[in-house]
Structure 1
Amino acid sequence: MVKEANLLFERMKSSGLCVHNSYSYNCLLEVISKVGDVSLMEYRLHEMKILGLPIDKHALTPVLQCYCNAGNFEKALMIFNEMNEKGWTDQHVLNILVLSYSKAGKVDAAFELIEWMERNLKLNMDQKLFCVLIHGFSRESRLDKALQLYYKMQKLGYMPDISIYDVLIGGLCKNKEIEKALILYTHMQQLGILPDARIVSKLLASVPNERVMIQLLEYRWKSLAEEERNALFFSVLTVFVNDGFIDKAYYLLKVSMAAGMDRDTQEDKIFFVDENLVASCFQTVIDGLCKFDKLDMALDLFYDMDRSGCKRNLLQFNDLIQCLSNGDRLDECFDLLNMMRKSEFQPTHFTFNSIFGCLCRRGDVAGALDMFREMRASGHEPWIKYYTLLVKKLCGQGKAIEARNFLADMTEEGFCPDMIAYSAVMDGFININELNQSLELFEEICKRGYSPDVVAYNIVIKGLCKAYRVNEAEEIFSKMLGKGLVPSVVTHNLLIDAWCKAGDIDRGVLCFSRMKEKNQEPNVITYTSLVDGLCNAGKPDDALKLWSDMERSGCYPNKIAYMALIHGLCKCNEPDVGVVYLQKMEERGILPDAYIFEDLIVAYESKSNIAMAQLISEKKVKCGIVS
């Protein structure tokens, strides 16, 4: 509301109905100071001086605040010195400057001002300022200054609250100054301040050995009822897990279980006697161990749960099976699955699919089929991502036939494979030059009621184009349109490239026009195929015009596009134009392959321009390109 206040102030002044005095100006300055608008503040202060209004303590205090809020400490210090010379410095004025220094991270300057205040003005900070500064100094990792303030605070009789101990102990633990942190912990005991879970956790995470951990907990533990102990214990474990001290959490839980079974040890009686741990503690720590890939420790806790009287739950089984699966520990997955079946829990779709995923990643077709049968018997569906992964893995190894058989077996087991998996198999056949098998599979799934998507059609079109059966590819394209599918840029690129390679540039250009009519933006692959095709057809001028159209459309050529153009221009006996584009490549930091230099050299030699051929040869050597 500063703008509104300033506007109202100006209107009242202009109307002549009200004559502003020092009080009204001081009120406005106070409003301006809150947002740190230095220029407006200085303008109004200058007005006061012109009007001859007194610039007193009430005017300069908001001016000081304004400079501080704006981070202009040089001018703030000038105002402070002026106020001090006139005897206007009080606790409030000092607090403004000290707090501003602290917020800006100027810890030393703030501390020097505090010492000056105590030495020269005999003023002491109030409790609120102590708290703010201790927090501020701690954030800046200046624990030395924060501790000095803490002891000064105690000396003045102020009682630090738990937040002070939290920030100081946390900072000291972070700096590995454990002895100092333990001293503060002792102070808390002496003052009767009960540490919360955050403070306890920070200390426990920093102490060098387990015995000290237990001793630290003794004081806090014995003052709590059993329900409160459970809550504190769970909070400590949670903090450990969240802060990455997973080994500490594991140890505490293990010792707790040992104490629950053996109460003869004095050490156990201190902290753990009669403690009944809840399953949520195990869940928290086991989750953390899995997250940090400490599966052996997680399994150790899981198997020990019975000894502590805690029941396992379904989530724990599933989480561990998933983690074991991700770690390719299949035998242990099945061990847990068998244990699960013997318990009150039944495997879920998540359980089965976690193990199924491991089998698929291994490429274990027989194991995957066995899991299919188990899943079918339990009424669960396999996840698409896993059986598609297996299919792609087989096809990547050149085993497209085995992949097809796997999907056939899957169908026999009562599951209908997704179109994504069939597309992967069709692509696998094409990659091993078995186009006819790919086409047979395509026809088969269409007869079985599947509706191939654009990706599936693109795979078939790619295979036909690769085999130079472009007319058949066009027929598939027409069928695709008849099904109401919208061809992608990839679809058009495949056909354009195929027609260009087949030497039918007119059909390629026709495909390009058809693409533009459908408002599909050509990409650099589209233009590269056409440029290459036009040059091969002896139409370099058309190729260059298309190149200009490409750049105007915002589609920038890449290395392959440049090389296709230069290669084509050389074939058309236009090496001079080719050199222009070679220069453009160099300007963009793109280095062509060796054959481009060879093309240019041959083209110049064919034109008997030996000088240019020699120049290109030298450029090739200079670029460090070896044929």
Structure 2
Amino acid sequence: MDALGFLADDGSGPSCSVTASGSEVSFREVGNGNAGDIEDISEVVHMVTEVLRSEVPGSPIEQRLENLGVTYTPRIVSMVLNRCFKKRHLGFKFFDWVRQVPGFQHTTETYNTMLYIAGEERNFEAMERLMAEMDKDMCLKDIKSWTIVMSSYGKARQISKMLSTFQAMGKSRYVAVDSKVYRTILRALCNSAKSELALEFYKDMPRSIEVGSDVFRLLLCCLARSDNAEAVLYVRDDMIKSMKYPEEYCYLEALRSFCVSGKLEEAKKVFQQMMNKSLANSSAFEILLRGLCKNGRMDKALQVMEYMKSKSCASSATFGFLIDGYLRKREHMKALELLQEMKEYGCVPLASSYTQLMQHLFAFDQHEAAYRLYEEMQENGIESDVVTITALIGGHVRNGHISEAWDAFRKINENGQRPTLKAYTVFIQELCKASRPLEALKLLKDMLESDFKPSEQIFDRIIFSLRYNHCLEEAINVERMRASFNSCSPREGLQCRTLDQVDYTDKLKKLSGSGPDGKERTLEFNGHPLYEDSDISGILPCDDTQHLEQEKDYNNEDVEQIYQILSSSNCWSSIQQALEMLSLYFTPNLVDAIMKRCKANSHAALQFFSWVGKRSYYMQTTKTYNTAIKLAGSAKDFKHMRLLYRQMVLSECCPTVDTWNVMICQYGNAGLTEMALETFYHMKQGGFQPHKATYCHLIMYLSRRKGRKVDAAIKIFHEMCHAGYMPDNGMVCTYLSALCECGMIDRAKSSVVLLCKHGFSVQAGYSILIRSLCRSDRMAEALSLFNNIEKYGCSRSTYMYGSLIHALLRRDRFDDAAAMLAEMKNLGIPQSTHMYTSFMIYYLGKRDVSKAMDVLKEMTDNGCEPTVVTYSALIRGHMAMGMVSEAWNVFQHMKLKGPVPDFETYSMFMSCLCKAGRSEDALQLIHDMLNGGIIPSAVNFRTVVHGLNMEGKYKLADSVLQSKWHLRSQRTFSGSLVANSCV
């Protein structure tokens, strides 16, 4: 394998390369040059590279290259191009410039280097242009040239272009196809799941060609996954007869392919054949056992294990497979029992088995048990590898033992090992989850100095955590550092934007010593709320990256164009055909905007999500997955919502707390609080620390009448307070109302005391408590608290008077309400919209429209703006008195001048119209809702259908039902095409 990893799979890269660090040149294929020549060439290459990478104002690169006075040879040019691998635009510039140098002509070697650079950048237009220039310059294309091009197409899954290149190469008289070409093509076909093409290509391949056991294994697995068992057996038998592979080996590979693909029935048949042929050795048993465990067939796996024990061929590895199987089913107690059993059997557990058990115990907050396992591992002399220590680090951080985590991390180096990219990634993620962003930043510096390049997800997580903790200067610095990685190596990126430019030692100490309490105080001091208060139906932030300032990389016209295509038909094949004809370059931001635009037609949006994910250049992000999960959940397609989450994890998109928040909210909005609660616990088991928004929304769902679980709400509420998060007023109001409605008055009062102790406003806390008592018809307790409110350090307010007046009017105690209004005016406390609306509702209930309108006039004269609730009450009052035209006038006024009718207004008006025998008018409201982007509920449709049937308009009622099912099909994901792609 050459130093830069040029086509490491098939060795098709350029012959001269540089090492990963870019500092040493490999001259293994240079020729017979002596050490002095090598040193001179290396110095020249370094000089040219420095000119290319440096920027001098007013001095063009071309001029500075000419001033060097270098005599360029193909060898020097190829080596310079290799040095430009991570700054590919400079490579293109140098390649074109050196062509103009007198006496220089590009060779196959320089073209091959440039072809590889273009292919890695997936700049296929440039790659094709280079191939054409080779023909124009009469430069011979060798086998490496063709292989580089085919490999680049294969990696991008542009199969047709790859096969066309293969055919073009076959027509060349100067190139003989070798095994590397067949390896490249077979590997690309298998990786693209083109099983039929792969099989045909294999059949056409000369039997004298040796592609290697790794490619055969890949081919067998590809065929097994495509449910083509006959093809697997054909390749197996052909490997024995034509390729002269050992029979035992070929049967083992066929068995392995079926087990890996989850085709256990076919695997059992192959295994039985091996038993009949006496080919079933210990490896066969291990492969079968592992396949059964991975697919959850633990009963059968135990039978196989018992047989292996009877034959004395059970090993540490086989016990490890069983332990892995139980852990996959989250049965860690059985896995622990099995660990003890294997020790009694005389097998020493593997480090991987200990590591897996530790990971699961940490995930279930059984930290002490995990630590004991690690100690046992050390006592038994089993050397812990990087993976084990990484698991230990994650457990320490989750348990709040940050110093122990750092000690474990340093132990990696002490043991003569080196932290891996995974170790850095896990440690940084855990530190960010534990609100230790400055320590994560310190680790990022260490990671960069070790020449690791962090992923985009790591940068996003650190930046989000820094901003979350108001370390804005550091966040900006990391953003700049990330930008430099587009053109620098990790070390160069560190030099470009060094972390030492910002002194964060004091901040680190300050943050390390503060829990969520300190964090909340910091936020309040700076005047920036953690999250904006919003309605329960509001959209949650979908991704960490939403909190970053992102450049808009799409046009609204493009979004509208795709929206029109997706809405144009119910036939996906015609939609797909229209999409294929577009020349748009899809970016994650564009895809996200399209899906949000299509929220009323989530079925088409999710099909589009799957389709665009198969584009060769496109890769889904956490943000797009979160939006897709939200769309599926809002359509109550929870099966597909869970499927998307699994697909997200498998595609290595990093789920965030907001991903879990979205799923919790979708279950909560549907009243499935048991599922929401279960998702919350799974989130914590996965090591994610709930945010303020997570707690607030979950408590609100648990407190609402639909799916109410007061005991769970109380538990989560106390957990939130102890975590130091300050709830918003809406959540507190819903929670206290639930307690009061369940008769838990003392619990409600103690909750207010707890809130105030943690910094919640005393005035707001007791105002909300009075309102909650009023809403639950606990007037005696509400009035008693109000009359003694000064004892709690509060003053009487508009909010308190409004709550009491509303409750008194609901109980038809007009005189008491009027007396309270007079008292309010005498104290100089201003009236509110809420209070005026309460009087309007009272007069409308008494069928006194004149007085209700007088209240409305006084309300506007005093500068109180009517709300949606005010106008809705007016519409309901008019309808109750048969004043349909007046009700419509109010509704039209709302649509024209605002406030715009909401879902509740539409539902109320619809119900009133149907009761009044105006069901056709109610049907028009459904159309208005859809046009306004509001999704009618099943109750809305049921109300209209019932009204039409009562009026004898059966055909119209039937058409409404058809519209309902059509809308459901547009929103619920049931297309087999996308479902299959998500599995």
Q: Please give the TM-score of this superposition, normalised by the length of structure 2.
A: 0.36
- Distance in 1, Cα, partners of 2:314 & 2:887: 91
Mean alpha-carbon deviation: is it higher for 128-137 or for 100-109?
Answer: 128-137
Counterpart of 1:57 in structure 2 is 143
Q: Which of 254, 260, 268 lines up with 1:178 in the alignment?
A: 268
- Distance in 2, Cα, partners of 1:180 & 1:249: 33
Counterpart of 2:297 in structure 1 is 205
Counterpart of 1:449 in structure 2 is 792
8 Å Cα contact 2:894/2:900 also seen in 1: no
Tell whether 2:187 aligns with 1:99.
yes
Change (3 A) 1:555 1:492: farther
- Distance in 2, Cα, partners of 1:155 & 1:480: 101
Change (3 A) 1:223 1:556: closer
Q: Which amino acid aligns with 1:169?
A: C
Counterpart of 1:34 in structure 2 is 120
- Distance in 1, Cα, partners of 2:911 & 2:299: 67
- Distance in 1, Cα, partners of 2:824 & 2:249: 82
Counterpart of 1:341 in structure 2 is none
Aligned to 2:210, the other structure's residue is in SS state: coil
Write the mapping of 1:73-152 to structure 2, written as runs, cut at 5 A: 73-85=159-171, 86=173, 87-119=175-207, 122-137=208-223, 139-140=225-226, 145=231, 152=239
Q: Which of 223, 233, 236 lines up with 2:322 in the alignment?
A: 236
Change (3 A) 1:445 1:148: farther
Change (3 A) 1:546 1:136: same
Write the mapping of 1:302-341 to structure 2, written as runs, cut at 5 A: none
Q: Which amino acid aligns with 2:855?
A: R
Q: Which amino acid aligns with 1:111?
A: L
- Distance in 2, Cα, partners of 1:422 & 1:221: 73
Q: Which of 245, 249, 256 lines up with 1:156 in the alignment?
A: 245
- Distance in 2, Cα, partners of 1:195 & 1:137: 18
Deviation, structure 1 residue 95? 1.1
Task: Specify every segment of 5 or more residues in structure 1 that has no aligned partner in the other structure, as ranges.
Answer: 261-269, 292-325, 327-367, 369-384, 411-415, 599-616
Write the mapping of 1:259-408 to structure 2, written as runs, cut at 5 A: 395=741
Deviation, structure 1 residue 240? 1.9
Deviation, structure 1 residue 89? 0.7
Tell whether 2:893 aligns with 1:546.
yes
- Distance in 2, Cα, partners of 1:424 & 1:622: 47
Q: Which amino acid aligns with 2:869?
A: I
Deviation, structure 1 residue 91? 1.0
What per-residue deviation string (whole Å, max 9, x for no partner) do you get for residues 24-64 of structure 1?
A: 33322222223443333223323333444444434333332
Task: Specify every segment of 5 or more residues in structure 2 that has no aligned partner in the other structure, as ranges.
Answer: 1-86, 365-673, 675-710, 712-730, 752-756, 758-764, 931-939, 959-983
8 Å Cα contact 1:505/1:533 also seen in 2: no
- Distance in 2, Cα, partners of 1:92 & 1:582: 67
8 Å Cα contact 1:37/1:66 also seen in 2: no
What per-residue deviation string (whole Å, max 9, x for no partner) do you get for residues 404-441 of structure 1?
A: 6999999xxxxx9x9789876654436xxxx4x35445
Q: Which amino acid aligns with 1:508?
A: L
Deviation, structure 1 residue 180? 3.4
8 Å Cα contact 1:34/1:65 also seen in 2: no
Q: Which amino acid aligns with 1:95?
A: R
Q: Please give the TM-score of this superposition, normalised by the length of structure 1.
A: 0.52
State the percentage of identical aligned residues.
Answer: 13
8 Å Cα contact 2:186/2:198 also seen in 1: yes
Mean alpha-carbon deviation: is it higher for 80-89 or for 537-546?
Answer: 537-546
Deviation, structure 1 residue 111? 2.9
Two-structure CA RMSD over aligned residues (Å): 6.5
Which protein has the larger Cα radius of gyration, Structure 1 or Structure 2?
1
8 Å Cα contact 1:178/1:206 also seen in 2: no
Tell whether 2:873 aligns with 1:529.
yes
- Distance in 2, Cα, partners of 1:170 & 1:90: 30
Change (3 A) 1:531 1:194: closer
- Distance in 2, Cα, partners of 1:409 & 1:60: 76
Q: Would you say how many aligned residue pairs link Structure 1 and Structure 2?
A: 458
Counterpart of 1:294 in structure 2 is none
Deviation, structure 1 residue 97? 0.8
Counterpart of 1:504 in structure 2 is 852
Tell whether 2:810 aligns with 1:466.
yes
Deviation, structure 1 residue 618? 8.7
Q: Which amino acid aligns with 1:214?
A: E
Q: Which amino acid aligns with 1:449?
A: Y
Deviation, structure 1 residue 107? 1.8
Q: Which has the higher helix share?
A: 1
Change (3 A) 1:41 1:449: same
8 Å Cα contact 2:737/2:772 also seen in 1: yes
- Distance in 2, Cα, partners of 1:53 & 1:8: 19
- Distance in 1, Cα, partners of 2:954 & 2:898: 30
What per-residue deviation string (whole Å, max 9, x for no partner) do you get for residues 270-315 of structure 1?
A: 99668999xx99xx9xx99xx9xxxxxxxxxxxxxxxxxxxxxxxx
- Distance in 1, Cα, partners of 2:244 & 2:784: 87
Write the mapping of 1:8-47 to structure 2, written as runs, cut at 5 A: 8-13=94-99, 18-47=104-133
Q: Which amino acid aligns with 2:202?
A: I
